[in-house]
Amino acid sequence: MCGLLKDSIIKTNIMKKIFKIGFLTAFLFQGKLLAQDVNECMQDLSIFAEYVKVKNYKSAYEPWMKVRKNCPTINIAVYTYGERILKDLIENGTQEEQQSAKQDLIILFDEWVTNFPKNNNKSAVGDILSSKAQAMLDYQLADLKTIYNTFDDAFTKDAASFTNPKLLYNYFNTFYDLYKAGDKEVSMEQLFNKYEEVSEKFELESTELAKKLDVILKKEADGTALTSRETRNKRVYDVNSNAIGTFLSNLDAIIAKEATCENLIPLYQRNFEANKGDVIWLKRAASRMDSKECSDDPLFVTLVEALHALQPSADSAYYLGLLNDKRSNEEEALKYYEESISLETDNYKKAKILLKIANKFKDAGRSSSARSYANKALSFQPSLGRAYLLIANLYADSANDCGDSQFNKRAVYWLAAQTARKAGQVDASLANIANRTVESYEGRAPSKTDIFTEGNQGAVIKFDCWINSSVTVPSL
């Protein structure tokens, strides 16, 4: 028995050794194959990347597909370059290739989220999914509800990387289209809430861009030469700023059709009791009524007082200032305006409040105060071009009240034009309106014939009215 037991133990040990050797051999063989696959993938990656760089997408397709199939996690270029390859095929391929590439592009975005959800250690899910939704929209690959849900998925999961102005606009626009189509799941209040969410995102992106641009503008103002990188960045910021301005304007144009006082007031009256303890709802309701000039309605007073009692803030103090302005309580209004500024800790939000106050003073005919607040706004945000446009308008409106001769009165328009020009220089999104404003003001200023007749080219004209500034007559 002892001998049989000993033989059994020996046989068992031998079998274990055989198993270990077999497993090790298989592992090494698999590792060798894996190494071979990676090496081949690296070669194909290099090949298709070079083709993409010279826009030879047709030649890039085959090696790219091999890498995508065999090594989908090897490099993010599989997806960033893959998107370009498929879009080229959609544009230039045969009809059959185009249809296939459209479907494959959607699959690629899903693979991208799975294999490279991060870029530079930051989530890129919002960017990828919003691009997927845009592709579905561009190529009519899904119904409107599915496209909206994909946009919404991107915004809900990762709003931080969902930054493309065009895609943000289409996110809201698809929701608006559902509303206009009579989708029972999209109410008017939901439409307004979605508008507020998306416009707040636009505001956030605009502020982040302004912070970067202001660093460069300050350097220019100090007379320091920009580096080539800063010059290049400034061009990029200008392009992005223009895009944000354009699509935000389009967004506002859409909501303007629905957000009338006739729609807003009964809606907010109906929902006030259920939301009077919700600070965000109260802020948005008050903001919408203010922007649509519905603030004369008693409901506005109710909203503002509820908001200030619930959470005194820069917004609620501003609205209380607005209410007192409407009641002609100028001193009380100014007290609340100043409280609003002091309560706000973010310089960029402070700048926007100051510009709002400047506009209120302009409407009230208080030009000097309006300019003062506009300049305060610029001290917090040098790229706030609308402040320059406001000051330019104030100057132009005062042309008949300043100057001791007809020539000198019209000379005010030169000062107005100079100020308006600055708006386009600091904010590319205002370039077109700034240029039109400059052209209009220069057209009202003295002509070359007037300068020749007066014989005062190069002379300095001082304005002793509230403007308290001067302008130099242009040389002929």
Give the number of residues written for the chain.
476
**Lowest model confidence (mean pLDDT) among 17-31, 225-239, 276-290, 430-444:** 17-31
Query: Looking up tokens 């800790």, which residue turns up?
Result: 345
Determine the Cα angle at 165 with ends 215 and 193, to 5°: 110
55 vs 188: CA distance, rounded Å: 46
Contact yes or no for 383/217 (Cβ under 8 A): yes
pLDDT at 32: 39
Q: What is the pLDDT of residue 38?
A: 87
Closest CA to 332 of 344, 342, 323: 323
Q: What confidence tens digit (pLDDT) does each residue in 385-427 have? A: 999 999 999 999 999 999 889 999 999 999 999 999 999 999 9
pLDDT, one tens digit per residue, over 214-231 is 999 999 989 999 999 999
pLDDT category at 35 given cuts 50, 70, 90 is low
For residue 28, is pLDDT > 50?
Answer: no
Q: Is the pTM value of this prediction over 0.85?
A: no
Q: Give, for 14, the enclosing helix (H) or strand (E).
A: helix 2-53
The tens digit of pLDDT for each residue in 57-102 reads 999 999 999 999 999 999 999 999 999 999 999 999 999 999 999 9
Q: What is the mean pLDDT of residues 190-212?
A: 95
364 class by beta-carbon count within 10 Å (0-12 exposed, 13-18 middle, 19+ buried) = middle
How would you write 239-300 as a 3-class SS string? HHHHHHHHHHHHHHHHHHCCCCHHHHHHHHHHHHHHHCCCHHHHHHHHHHHHHCCCCCCHHH
Greater confidence, 184 or 19? 184
> CA distances (Å), 442 to each of 236, 361, 420, 459, in order?
30, 26, 11, 17
Tokens for 103? 């479907």
Which H or E run contains 417? helix 406-426
**For range 274-290, the mean pLDDT:** 94
Q: C-alpha dihedral over 467, 469, 475, 476, to 10 degrees? A: 20
Q: If residue 472 lies in a helix (H) or strand (E), which one and from where to where?
A: strand 469-472
**Domain boundaries, given as residue ranges, for the chain:** 32-116
Residue 405: φ, ψ to 5°: -150, 165
What pLDDT was estimated at residue 388?
98
Q: What are 221-260's pLDDT values in tens digits?
A: 899 999 999 999 999 999 999 999 999 999 999 999 899 9
The 3-state DSSP class for residue 427 equals coil
Helices (H), 186-227: 188-221
Q: Do residues 67 and 74 make contact, with C-beta atoms less than 8 angstroms apart? A: yes
CB atoms closer than 10 angstroms to residue 414? 20
Please report the pLDDT score of residue 36 as a whole number.
57
The per-residue pLDDT for range 285-298, each reduced to its tens digit, is 999 999 888 989 99
**For a pLDDT cut of 70, what percent of the chain falls above it?**
92
The whole-angstrom distance between residue 258's C-alpha and the CA centroid of its chain comes to: 23
Question: DSSP 3-state assignment of 431?
Answer: helix
pLDDT at position 350 is 95
The answer to whether the CB of 295 falls within 8 A of the CB of 326 is yes
pLDDT confidence of residue 328? 87
Closest CA to 105 of 66, 147, 141, 58: 141
Residue 182's φ and ψ, nearest 5 degrees, are 85, 20
